[in-house]
Structure 1
């Protein structure tokens, strides 16, 4: 009897010793504003955890003891509920078990997933966060170290990818159909070998990152983005570390401090003082510099505070004392540089030291800091030091679109490439207008402001003239005309044409597309009469369109049937975009639909030039009653002719 009791006590003590000393622990922390249901899958059949799924309310933490040689994955489920029949299910990350415990079932895509291999090859831990299965929740894995050894790194995805998810990959909720709840991966959406890395694309040499996976990688550089992501994404750790797993971390550093549980609830401790001090400091600087401009508002200041700030001395070192000029513009000079910490190539725009630059500076920094899209240039930091201002953004090795157009026109046009560029720019604009946190109207869309990366993916840049709006705001009130001659919409010249709005960007986009296909460089002897409007090159394009002879616009002597279809589609879409009346122009979401649809479904637009500057059109778009613009009507014939005969 006594021996049996002693044996039982020995086993119990041994179990507790192994559990508390020999095992690892995962501290799972929920900093989301809603309940998260973590799910756990063990890959090895001979090992098990105390739980495979549980509920974690806002602010709660839970410690899970894990065997020292455990291999498995962990993820978060959201929007979960139990039906009247007792079946438990979740809108994202569901494991299909019908219960809170997943009991050996894995997560359904799209889901942000953590993979762990503890005590693997060379006695090291291997772990990573992957968005290659899609994304549903932001999370971060932080090692808690003891002793010395290999440095163990943090991995994860901090940002909310649902906000920047391409429209075609969005998973919408059933209760709120306006807000995406997850973002699919391209493989699940399209099922193509190049997206799924199988078949002929089943090797690292053949399966390359796509525009979608690059977008994920730009947003979450510390996470796996596709099947053959670089080896640096998987972290090795030899310190026998414990790990903190945080859902919805404020940032990487805050994830290393788990919440403290009290009666099953968490008391969240936040260091609020530092951001407030920084914000006050920036507000004082910016308001002292220029208090009269309405664009210097608290939202813009808040956006600047969240960015990496560099001193002018660091900027000078970064650019090797401004040795390599990439280009010059109206607001300053752009230099090539390298980030000091990672050696990454960057473009550094130094703004001119002239009056009024404060507005352009804060416009560009605040606008770009709100954007995250594969077709928008990424902002990496800024410098604001008295009269020294600089903006640091990703380096685009292929230069601007105008250079590509010039080179493309010197040989036979690559129509498929031109089509891809047109699609990319349209998606970037649609994102700015509809899917950004705050609607942004660019007001200076032109080939010089569209940059190309190494894969000739177009990215919209130069937000110096941009205007931030309320998300549902249609009409924009402005005191000054913005843009570049040749691309400015007619309503920017005179309110008689209509109201200034995001449709002004649509007009500029149409002019860019016409320039891409070469229409601007085509001379028409038969249209060289005395009428000024006949010299306006889109008029030539439309007259060819009326005759059913669009191919004459292109100038290529040899063009395949497929190339001609692409060219005709680009012409028709461009003519729709440059309608004089803004209400006749399609929104960018419709432009994308037209570009991706069948040519046969496209109707020939009305003649864009039937509306004269003297005609009056309604000033109201949508449901807004705001004043459209305070620009004076152009009465000077020279100013009017400058619009109809664009040059730059």
Structure 2
């Protein structure tokens, strides 16, 4: 986001904080600069996310609290880990009490650049990963995800009952000048690493451990970058401890022992470039070796960084494929359980050998394993054993959006839930297009590929048709167009309408939103005053908009607040299905439109209706399968 001032254009970063833990997390935000962020603390349930707009020239921290509760007798709010000692959900905005927690420090737009550091100097309570939206040689994903039972020294373990919940740092635990690098120990020569710092140094080579650590902890980015901060990420952070660079720690400015973290912005770009070149060479060699040896299993596993299961394990997980969840164009999905102590429910997709090829499989794995967002289905593992290929996902107990829509259509619509679903899907697509490691265009957004968890949080699934974009490319060249009739964009049918791109997903999203509100249900057309009930459905929506009678099709019992929600969804859906891709808003703008005021939305131009894809849509009954079309030359 940008704001214009008398001195030029200033960038504002969006910090998306998401919780993928199995418990509620209470994020903490603290600012050393003014203005502060809009909140200093709030609750984030499992699967939830929240966007925070960081002020210009913001410098502050983000951490998480766990096992929080309010004392019924005193009203005091406190947390077992990461507590900020305010006695409230919001933390004090004038001082900060350091606690045993994992921290992410940000210094945004400092001299034209951003920088951030994930720090375990004060201890560790939650896995954290920071993903910048715009990658470069120095702007990379960093974080710290460890097994406390293996990493935390026994004398520094924090328990709640019998459960290990955090690890104190040596300084936090003892407070001695030696462990905190104070007084005569305040030098690199005298401040020596402890068991704690050594253990975390090995486990999290990109995290800041202690004052005189030599690791590469500060990540440098451009000042137009947004960030996703994930608690308990499902993706694995690459361990590059053998290719370490000399990036210095980002500073914190206050703590309860009056210490300061030194900010050193001298970055060895050459060494970072070497790391990137080496990593690129490894990927190239991996792909080449994969092709030469029939996609060698070890190479694939190294490339996608996911747990690999044997086909025998897949059979055991699914009880010999006893419970079918559904069938799609690329395979059958079964319900199962992970073969570990958690016994977590999973959805396991067996890929048909006759559909797709090894490259499709690897692309899906690579793209999904690097995607981490609350509105994206998480990937747990894979099987690649001869002709047997499977992908293991998190299980979504409420099924797909199309089933949810059909249920709600038969009874009173809960417009607030449908609105929240629309916003969640928009956020997930915005993440795929702009913020994940590999820029992803889905090309088959439809209700069947949007799944619902136990809290009706929507998650985008099925990346079998995804095409990975290079960072600097905005339009994708496809040899054959893929998608589902009824949701596919006109430019995918014919290049006369432009090139297939992320805007193709925007079109599909608009069709999904219009279907969610019932506008795509042709049986409802008769409720409108339009004479021609066989007309392309946006046409009669526009006619009713002109008559200010849009809500007539939803009955007479709709409340005023619900009417505003529905009208906003209608307008956003119509903007998304504009014929010309350049007229459609990007997904970031779509999110802003949905979350903004209805009064700020204008009625978009009417899309053309005499198009070949309209005829195709009208002749097909909501196709369940993925179809392929050749793009006219």
The TM-score range, normalised by the shorter chain, is 0.5 to 0.7
Q: Partner residue of 2:476?
A: 476
Corresponding position: 1:326 with 2:325 = yes
In 1, are the aligned partners of 2:82 and 2:125 still within 8 Å (CA)? no
Measured in 2, the distance between the counterparts of 1:436 and 1:266 equals 25
Measured in 1, the distance between the counterparts of 2:446 and 2:553 equals 20
Measured in 2, the distance between the counterparts of 1:559 and 1:220 equals 50
Matched residue of 1:559: which SS?
A: coil
Q: Partner residue of 2:451?
A: 451
Matched residue of 2:501: which SS?
A: coil
Matched residue of 1:138: which SS?
A: strand
Corresponding position: 1:110 with 2:31 = no
1:247-266 equivalences in 2 (<5 Å): 251=203
Q: Partner residue of 1:641?
A: 615
1:188-221 Cα shifts (integer Å, max 9, x gaps) = xxxxxxxxxxxxxxxxxxxxxxxxxxxx99x899
Query: Alignment partner for residue 197 of structure 2, among 220, 245, 261?
Result: 245
Q: Partner residue of 2:373?
A: 373
Matched residue of 2:196: which SS?
A: strand
Measured in 2, the distance between the counterparts of 1:521 and 1:371 equals 33
In 1, are the aligned partners of 2:81 and 2:166 still within 8 Å (CA)? no
Instruction: Give the structure-1-normalised TM-score.
Output: 0.58
Q: Partner residue of 2:68?
A: none
Q: Partner residue of 2:460?
A: 460
1:8-53 Cα shifts (integer Å, max 9, x gaps) = xxxxxxxxxxxxxxxxxxxxxxxxxxxxxxxxxxxxxxxxxxxxxx
Corresponding position: 1:499 with 2:499 = yes
Q: Partner residue of 2:602?
A: 603
In 2, are the aligned partners of 1:139 and 1:158 still within 8 Å (CA)? no
Measured in 1, the distance between the counterparts of 2:408 and 2:324 equals 24
Measured in 1, the distance between the counterparts of 2:391 and 2:510 equals 28
Measured in 2, the distance between the counterparts of 1:308 and 1:529 equals 56
Q: Partner residue of 1:59?
A: none
Residue 351 of structure 1 deviates from its aligned partner by 0.5
Q: Partner residue of 2:127?
A: 157
1:277-426 equivalences in 2 (<5 Å): 283-286=288-291, 288-289=293-294, 304-341=303-340, 342-426=342-426
Residue 358 of structure 1 deviates from its aligned partner by 2.2
Residue 162 of structure 1 deviates from its aligned partner by 5.3
1:147-226 equivalences in 2 (<5 Å): 156-157=126-127, 159-161=129-131
- The 3 A distance-change label for structure 1 pair 140 and 386 is farther
1:527-575 Cα shifts (integer Å, max 9, x gaps) = 5749xxx532232222222222111233x34100000000000001100
Q: Partner residue of 1:46?
A: none
Q: Partner residue of 1:558?
A: 557
In 2, are the aligned partners of 1:139 and 1:156 still within 8 Å (CA)? no
Size of the alignment, in residue pairs? 438
Corresponding position: 1:270 with 2:242 = yes
1:209-236 Cα shifts (integer Å, max 9, x gaps) = xxxxxxx99x89979xxxxx99846148
Residue 364 of structure 1 deviates from its aligned partner by 1.7
1:55-70 equivalences in 2 (<5 Å): none
Q: Partner residue of 2:571?
A: 572
Q: Partner residue of 1:84?
A: none
Measured in 2, the distance between the counterparts of 1:507 and 1:230 equals 52
Measured in 2, the distance between the counterparts of 1:179 and 1:271 equals 16
Q: Partner residue of 1:137?
A: 117
Measured in 2, the distance between the counterparts of 1:116 and 1:452 equals 31
Measured in 2, the distance between the counterparts of 1:179 and 1:603 equals 38
Measured in 1, the distance between the counterparts of 2:82 and 2:567 equals 52
- The 3 A distance-change label for structure 1 pair 316 and 403 is same
Residue 310 of structure 1 deviates from its aligned partner by 1.1
Measured in 1, the distance between the counterparts of 2:199 and 2:63 equals 13
In 2, are the aligned partners of 1:142 and 1:155 still within 8 Å (CA)? no
Residue 304 of structure 1 deviates from its aligned partner by 3.6
Measured in 2, the distance between the counterparts of 1:400 and 1:427 equals 17
Q: Partner residue of 1:591?
A: 590
* CA RMSD of superposed structures (Å): 4.9
1:269-289 Cα shifts (integer Å, max 9, x gaps) = 7399xx999996775345554
1:353-390 Cα shifts (integer Å, max 9, x gaps) = 11533233223212111211110011111111111111
Matched residue of 1:607: which SS?
A: coil
Residue 133 of structure 1 deviates from its aligned partner by 10
Measured in 1, the distance between the counterparts of 2:161 and 2:505 equals 38
Matched residue of 2:391: which SS?
A: strand
In 1, are the aligned partners of 2:105 and 2:118 still within 8 Å (CA)? no
In 1, are the aligned partners of 2:306 and 2:382 still within 8 Å (CA)? yes
Query: Mind listing any 5+ residue stretches in structure 2 that lack a counterpart?
Result: 1-27, 38-58, 66-79, 84-98, 108-115, 150-159, 175-193, 217-239, 245-278, 624-633
Measured in 2, the distance between the counterparts of 1:134 and 1:233 equals 28
Q: Partner residue of 2:182?
A: none
Measured in 2, the distance between the counterparts of 1:461 and 1:372 equals 12
Residue 465 of structure 1 deviates from its aligned partner by 0.5
1:255-278 Cα shifts (integer Å, max 9, x gaps) = 99x99x9xx968997399xx9999
Query: Alignment partner for residue 234 of structure 1, among 165, 179, 186?
Result: 165
Instruction: Give the structure-2-normalised TM-score.
Output: 0.59
Residue 308 of structure 1 deviates from its aligned partner by 1.3
In 2, are the aligned partners of 1:578 and 1:608 still within 8 Å (CA)? yes
Residue 646 of structure 1 deviates from its aligned partner by 4.7
Matched residue of 2:539: which SS?
A: helix
In 2, are the aligned partners of 1:137 and 1:248 still within 8 Å (CA)? no
